[in-house]
Amino acid sequence: MSPRIKNCVERARYYQDLLLKEISQHKTVDNSDRSLASTAYVKMVNGDYSAILSLVEAENPGAAFKLFRLLYEDVINALWVQAFAKPGVIKKLLHTKKGEVPRSMAQRAAKLDTIFVPPKTIVPEESLFVDLQSKFWKAACSYTHGGSLAINRELAGYDELSTYQMLRSSTTLFVLLMDAMYKLHHGKKNDVLWDTAQTYFAEKW
């Protein structure tokens, strides 16, 4: 592991610990199925993220790249379920073996932009999750399902820049989730989460 990647993992863990410490101080607002689902998704995302960092530390980047798709998917689904899922969808997710999140990832990402970006009257029109979808999804699927990107990297090796970009993108998704989920769940901004996010985005690794 190069010094740069080692520093990236250390900074990633720093932000992970900081955000989790703050989140742990706030209980869910109720005991509803929606709250249970959001809690489960946060745990899933944290598990994905922790595994990615551990795999990079163990110099197993191929497996880390495969997990990136699961991290992205869990982040999008977490926010979509919290914001838009009907009670019946949540009930099936929690209490049956056939529960699924409806619609495609692209559709869910677009729906999230209706609440997380400025009104569409602003020119040029901005996007957040649609932009992330266009950047990440196709490549993430290729790595996860053994497509050309995965095959070529296994033959040529995982270079420092690609690993850096994956770590930075993973941390960005983790930071976004914690800040956005709190806003959705509690109906207000958490100053610690918000300030931590702004510090992270301003920091150059």
The whole-number pLDDT of residue 124 equals 52
Structural domain spans, the chain: 3-202
Contacts of 122 (CB under 8 A, 6+ apart): none
The whole-number pLDDT of residue 167 equals 96
pTM exceeds 0.85, yes or no: yes
C-alpha–C-alpha distance, residues 53 and 50, integer Å = 5
**160-180 pLDDT, tens digit each:** 999 999 999 999 999 999 999
**97-143 pLDDT, tens digit each:** 989 999 899 999 999 999 888 666 555 556 888 999 988 888 888 88
- 129-144 and 160-186 helices, crossing angle to 10°: 130
